[in-house]
Each structure stands twice: as structure tokens, then as C-alpha cells.
Chains A and B, each alone.
Chain A
Amino acid sequence: MKSTRFWVILIAGLLVISGVFTALVAGQTSGTMANIYLDGKCIRSIDLSQSDDSYEFTVDSPTGSNTIQVEPGRICVSCAECPDQICVRQGWISASVMPIVCLPNRLVIQIEEQSKQSELDGVAG
């Protein structure tokens, strides 16, 4: 049996390391491209620095739909058909490293440097 001191130090160490990494991912990215992924496939890319009007659109997934709202420089999920509504409560993001995630509908909105949408699928978006 290890002493309680051993476990306290181990857990405090884990807490500090995760705290440091949390601070890192809480930072800002220099990218302005909002890539919208459904099931791992980038279905639409929006350059937030280029968009100068506000609009919204709906992404349908087998489990429900998400309404995504775009304003100059920022993006959010305004409405979602899921039980927890966490993606809606995440609110607007503009340059956050942490993506907006809707786990039930497998939708991810991530701000990146480049568009991840493949050219061939471009028209379908």
C-alpha cells in the first residue's frame, strides 16, 4: 500500500498538468476558417473574416438537425435537436481552439487555418 502522501502528490500532479493543457487549449487560434464537420466529413467551410453579412442554415443528421448562425467574424449553433443543448450553450466562437461539439448529432465546428472541405464536394455544401 502506498502512503496517502504518494496519491495526493500523484493526483495533484495530474491536476496541474491538465490545468496547464487547459490553459493552452483555452487560447486563440490564428485561423479564421470555420470548418463544419458531420461524422468526420467537412461539409462546409466558412471564412469568418470574409463573411460580412449574417445568415443561418440548417445541417441535418440522422439523429436531428442543428441550425448554425454566422455573423461577421463569429459562428454559433443557435438551435439544436438534441437533449442536452450543450452546443447551443457554447455560444459564439470566433477564434477558439476548442471546437463547438454536438455529440448526439456528431457535428463539430472547428476554427482552422485552412478550409478542409474537399473541392469535389464544394457544390453540395
Chain B
Amino acid sequence: MNRIHTKKLVFMALLTAIALTIFVLEAQIPPLAPIPGIKLGLANIVTIYAVFVLGAGPAAMILLSRIILGSLFSGGMTIFYSLTGGFCCYLIMLVMRKLVTGKQIWVCSVLGAVAHNIGQIIAAVFITQTPGVAAYLPVLLVSGILTGLFTGLCAQFLLQRIGGHTF
């Protein structure tokens, strides 16, 4: 039987709580630029950590819990953009996990951020039914690459310090 051990479940719950705390705190920072979709994405540090340390399944559960709970805390009307972006990012990071070394985790994060932005814009085009929204993609990509580099390096240093802990 494929069951989750209690210790692992507690660890996953803890990571979800950390990700949610970071998400809620980040939401208190006023938008960095008056452009919809631009943010630091600090909560993604936890997703990267989970993808590398716990693997695909637990990482997906942590991400999904964080997005649903996060949207409850922050108003909830943008959940579809977060979901689409979050899961595009997650899928790319799963693929990239096999292609990078421990010192290249930032690459995984940057490409994940790019996927997040593309997913987000596709969701926005579908939801608003207005193709003109896609004009925001290039500027989102520029910011996504930079913020993805930052969060990726955070996750990489984190993994180097406390990484080896697996269940």
C-alpha cells in the first residue's frame, strides 16, 4: 500500500504553512510595478525545495494547498491565474530537475518562472477573452527571469545548507 508516513505528512504540512506564510507576507508588500502579474514569488522557494527533496507528488500537494489557501487569504479572485501559472511552473521544474546539477537549481527556477508567466498570460487571455492582454507577456518574462533567478538562488543555498534531509 502506498501510504504517506506520518513524519512525511507533518513535514509537508509544515512546508505548506511556511509557503503560505511567505505568500501572505509577500501579498502585504505593495505591487512592485503597476503591471498585473509582477511579483517576487518568494513562496516558490518552498515549491523548488519540495520538488527537489520530496519529489513530484508531495510537491504538487504542497503547491495546490498553498494556492487554494493563499487565495482564500488574499481575496481569491485571481486563483485561476495562480493555478495555471503555478502548475506550468511545477511541470517545467519537474522536467528540469532531471537536467540540472545541484549548482544549477537557479536554472530550474528561472525556466519555471518563464513557464509560470506564459501559463498566467494564457489564463488571462482565456478568462478576459481579450487577446490584447498578451501584450504584457514580454515585460512579465523580463521580471520573471530576474525574480526567478533570485528565488532560485535562495532555494539553491537552502538546499546546499539543509538539503540532504529526505524521508
* A and B interact: yes
Q: How distant is the Cα of A106 from the Cα of B81 in the complex, in angstroms? A: 12
A87 contacts which chain B residues (CB < 8 A)? 36
Given contacts A40-B130, A41-B129, A89-B34, contact A101 B136 (CB under 8 A): yes
* A92 vs B133: C-alpha distance when bound (angstroms): 17
Nearest residue (CB) in A for B133 is A101
Is the pair A98, B75 in contact by a Cβ cutoff of 8 Å? no
Give the chain A neighbours of B124 by CB distance below 8 A. 101, 103
The answer to whether A106 touches B145 (Cβ under 8 A) is no
* B77 on interface, CB distance cutoff 8 Å: yes
Count of chain A residues with a beta carbon within 8 Å of a chain B beta carbon: 41
Q: Does B101 contact A (CB under 8 A)?
A: yes
Which secondary structure dominates chain B's binding surface? helix
A63: CB under 8 A from chain B? yes
CA distance A63 to B99 in the complex (A): 43
Q: Are the CB atoms of A39 and B104 closer together than 8 Å?
A: no
A97 at the interface (CB under 8 A from B): yes
Docked-complex contact A99 and B132, CB < 8 angstroms: yes
Q: Which positions in B face A, CB cutoff 8 Å?
A: 31, 34-37, 74-75, 77-78, 81, 99-101, 103-104, 107, 110-111, 114, 124, 127-130, 132-133, 135-139, 141-142, 145, 149
Q: List 13 A-B contacts (CB under 8 A).
A: A4-B103, A18-B139, A21-B141, A25-B139, A37-B128, A37-B129, A39-B128, A40-B128, A83-B74, A87-B36, A89-B34, A91-B34, A97-B135
